[in-house]
Structure 1
C-alpha cells in the first residue's frame, strides 16, 4: 500500500514538472516575427529621430547656409543612432545604422519636382540629408539610412529614406 502511494505521488510530481516546463518563459527563445518587429522598431525610431531633428532646425538656416543645416541635422541624429545601437543588446538585438547618401539622392530626384512650375525652390541631397529651399530658408525634407538588425537567428539589412515633414 505504501509502495502504491509512493508511485502515485511520483506520477503527480512528474505531471507537475512537465506542466511547469511547458508554461515556463525563456528569454532566449524567440519566434520568427521578433526579427521583423525589431527591424520595424528600428525604422520607427529613425523616423522619430529624423522628425525631431528637422523640427528643431526649421527656419534656423538660410538657403546659403544649407551645408551647415545638413551638418547640424546629422549632429542631432548621430546621438540618437548611438542610442538605438545600444538599446536592445541585452535582449539579443543589435542595431547598426548609418546615413545613406545614394538613397537620399534618389529620393530627392524622385520627390522634388523641377522646372518652372514648382512651388518651392530646389532640393539638394547632401551627406544623406535632403534639404529644400523654401522662402530663402533651408527645410530638411528627408534622411536616408542603412539599417542592419542582427539577432541570434538572422541579420536583416534595409535601406530607408525617412521623410522629415508630413
Structure 2
C-alpha cells in the first residue's frame, strides 16, 4: 500500500509541474501574439524612401507654420511670409539633419520659379475671379482675399543623398 501512495504522489507532482510550466508559457504566448513579434516583420514591411519621408515632413511643417501666421493686410504680405518663414525655419533645419546618423543628407531650398508657375496655373486672371491677385514672395504664393494676404502654397527643391544615390525633387505644397 505504501508503494501505491508514492506513485499517486509522484503523479500529482508531475501534474502540478506540468500545470506550472503551462502557466508560465501563457504570458509569453500572449506577449508574442499581442506585440506582433514575427521574424519576418522587418523583411515584409514596406518602407518609404527618404525622399517620401522628407516630403511628408515638409508638408506637415508647412501646415503647422501656416497656422502660426495671423491676419495681415495685403500690403503687409512680406510680413506674413516672414512670419511663416520664422515658424518654418526650425522644422526645415530639423528635417535636414534628422537622418544624418543614417548617412542620409537632405538639402531643402525654395524654388521661386516653381512657385510662380504654380501661381500662374492656380490664380487665373479674368472678370469672374473670386479673389484678388497672387504674388510670390521668397517661393511662397500669397493671394489677396478680402484685402488680406492669404498663404496658398510654397515651392521647394529637395535633394536627398543616401548610400543608394541622390534624389532631386521639386515640389509645391499647398498650405491651409
Deviation at 1:74, TM superposition (A): 1.7
How far apart, CA to CA, are the structure 1 residues paired with 2:146 and 2:68? Answer: 18
Residue 26 (structure 2) aligns with: none
- The ranges of structure 1 where at least 4 consecutive aligned residues each deviate by more than 3 angstroms after the TM superposition are none
Q: Determine helix, strand or coil for the equivalent of 1:69.
A: helix
Q: Is 2:139 the partner of 1:128?
A: yes
Unaligned runs of 5+ in 2: 1-38, 40-45
TM-score (normalizing by structure 2): 0.71
Instruction: Name the count of aligned residue pairs.
Output: 132
- Indicate the RMSD between aligned Cα atoms, in angstroms: 1.6
Contact persistence 2:160–2:166 (CA under 8 A): yes
Match of 1:140 among 133, 145, 151: 151
Residue 95 (structure 1) aligns with: 106
| Higher alpha-carbon Rg | 2
Residue 79 (structure 1) aligns with: 90
Deviation at 1:50, TM superposition (A): 1.1
How far apart, CA to CA, are the structure 1 residues paired with 2:49 and 2:163? Answer: 14
